[in-house]
Amino acid sequence: MKANRKKPPVPDPIVEAHRREAMKRGDGDTQPATASSALPARTRAVPQPTPRPAENGKMKEPVLSQERTRRHATPLSVPTQADPGKAGSEISMIRASELVPERLEYVWNGRIARGKLTIVAGDPGLGKSLLAARLAAIVSRGSAWTPDEEQAVKGSVIMVTTEDDLQDTVRPRLEAAGADLDAVHLLAGLDLTQDQDALEQEIRRLADVRLMIIDPITSCLGRTNINGAADVRAIMTSLSRFAARTGTAIVAITHLNKNGSGRAMARTVGSHAFVAVARAAYVLTKDPDDPGRRLLLPFKNNLGADNQSCAFRIEEVALGVGTAPRLVPDPEPVIITADEALTNPRTNPSGQSALEQAKEFLREFLSAGPRAALAVQAAAATVGIRGISLQRAKKALGIQSSKSAMDGGWQWMLPADTKMINCSEDDQHNPMSTFDADDHLRSAALVETTSSRGDHQ
């Protein structure tokens, strides 16, 4: 029986050439390289270490000499995706010095910027759609929110609305707000997962679109899960880039979730990615102290100051087909934040508003006569009445402040008590008084109205 002999390995010609070259340098392996030991064409042959003599029948681990180790310590060239001819991703960078700085342009000064995405959130029925009509009127007419604000640059507006009827609701509200109806273009529906290309072509055709309002954004996302952070972020990022490409200010209107408390940042419905991608975000809510007053409060602004709060009221306007509501700016300053407006209780257990509760407290607390202002404020705080509510109630009731003496503290008193004090001081005669005959001017000077004094009075 013939013994099976293994065929000698076939030397690999490329690696064999490396071996012969190494032998000339005196550091190569004398064994021919086989196909099974072939290395990539771009690598240099690495010599195999020589086995050490056996001790106790066992071979020691082979080692390389220091010289041979040093000589081959240089990293080998390894093919990568960045090599020419290889498929892979590409990145593009630019030096900051090569960029030309640009000034932000606003369609509503300090609040809504062109080329950016803005979120407006609020409970149903508070006036979000009226705000949309007001914004459309400002841009389409090139007007201003209030007479003392800078006028907007006139341009076209696209309004996407899926909840209100275009003929009997949207159009009358636009007319009541004073919009240029020829410059407002309406869409009854939109799918941002499919329609962005067609929408961009339409914006290019119109050429002067400066504002697009989507009401509500959650109805324009196709089958997207609004609670899925990755899906929402992808669409909102795409929409943000769309705004930048077209130079359009996009206002996305949405609802608040059912969580009755918590920071405003966590109150928008769906994923937090809605707010995260937007450059500015506002909440529309009732004034806790005045239910007839609406507040637009910022809770995020990556482009500027986040103190651009404003207030307005709703009024009815007579039109040819009936009446329609519109927003009217309220000039009274807003000093409450979005977090405070959403977390503070709007009513007490009896159902009173914060303002009515404060007015009732002042009537009762001051019924026995003038009281020290600090005592009034301290007592109000113990029953949960905030300082702003107390000041508004003071103004509404006509409560006045006066000095108890030239070096005494301020007192609060009901209007009837003020008249009694004035009459009493006018009737008194003190020959040692430094005011003498002008003593009545002192009492008049010491009685101040609420509008001319701060919280400490």
Within a domain: 90 = no
The most confident of 172-186, 262-276, 283-297, 369-383, by mean pLDDT: 172-186
Domain count across the chain: 3
The larger pLDDT score, comparing residue 212 to residue 70, is at: 212
What's the confidence (pLDDT) of residue 97?
Answer: 94
Give pLDDT tens digits for 24-39. 655 545 455 444 444 4
Q: Which domain holds residue 15?
A: 11-38
Same domain, 331 and 387: no
| 151: pLDDT strictly greater than 50 | yes
Same domain, 163 and 278: yes
The token duo for 53 is 């003599």
Same domain, 322 and 367: no
CATH of the domain at 255: 3.40.50.300
What's the confidence (pLDDT) of residue 76?
Answer: 37
Q: Tell me if 252 sits within 8 A of 217, measured CB to CB.
A: yes
Of 295, 311, 343, the position where a domain reaches its end is 343
| 338: pLDDT strictly greater than 50 | yes
What's the confidence (pLDDT) of residue 47?
Answer: 46
Same domain, 330 and 360: no
Cα–Cα distance between 359 and 161 in angstroms, integer? 41
| 261: pLDDT strictly greater than 70 | no
What's the confidence (pLDDT) of residue 323?
Answer: 93
The token duo for 311 is 């207030």
Within a domain: 45 = no
201 phi and psi, to 5 degrees?
-65, -40
Give pLDDT tens digits for 31-61. 554 444 444 444 444 444 445 455 444 444 4
| 320: pLDDT strictly greater than 80 | yes
The most confident of 156-165, 383-392, 440-449, by mean pLDDT: 156-165
Per-residue pLDDT band at 80 (split at 50, 70, 90) = very low
Of 313, 343, 373, the position where a domain reaches its end is 343
Kindly state the DSSP code that residue 149 receives in the 8-state scheme: S
Cα–Cα distance between 346 and 334 in angstroms, integer? 16
The most confident of 65-79, 113-127, 404-418, by mean pLDDT: 113-127
The token duo for 225 is 């899960």
Same domain, 167 and 265: yes
Same domain, 447 and 309: no
Q: Tell me if 325 sits within 8 A of 308, measured CB to CB.
A: no
The larger pLDDT score, comparing residue 289 to residue 29, is at: 289
Per-residue pLDDT band at 428 (split at 50, 70, 90) = very low
Within a domain: 87 = no
Within a domain: 364 = yes
What's the confidence (pLDDT) of residue 149?
Answer: 87
What is the mean predicted confidence (pLDDT) over 419-442? 43
Q: Tell me if 325 sits within 8 A of 130, measured CB to CB.
A: yes
Within a domain: 56 = no
Q: Give CA separation, 65 vs 22, 61, 62, 71, 179, in Å.
A: 15, 13, 10, 10, 88
Cα–Cα distance between 251 and 281 in angstroms, integer? 9
Of 312, 343, 374, the position where a domain reaches its end is 343
What's the confidence (pLDDT) of residue 435?
Answer: 40
Q: Name the average pLDDT for the chain.
A: 77
Same domain, 130 and 272: yes
| 430: pLDDT strictly greater than 50 | no
Q: Name the one residue in this structure whose structure tokens are 């800078």.
A: 150
Within a domain: 207 = yes
Within a domain: 225 = yes
Same domain, 304 and 421: no
What is the mean predicted confidence (pLDDT) over 295-305? 91
What is the mean predicted confidence (pLDDT) over 296-300? 95
What's the confidence (pLDDT) of residue 74?
Answer: 39
Same domain, 31 and 120: no
The larger pLDDT score, comparing residue 9 to residue 134, is at: 134
| 359: pLDDT strictly greater than 80 | yes
Q: Give CA separation, 197 vs 88, 211, 216, 336, in Å.
A: 27, 17, 20, 41
Same domain, 153 and 202: yes
What's the confidence (pLDDT) of residue 212?
Answer: 98
Same domain, 371 and 337: no
Cα–Cα distance between 277 and 336 in angstroms, integer? 25
What's the confidence (pLDDT) of residue 28?
Answer: 47
The larger pLDDT score, comparing residue 178 to residue 1, is at: 178
Per-residue pLDDT band at 23 (split at 50, 70, 90) = low
Same domain, 329 and 358: no
Within a domain: 125 = yes
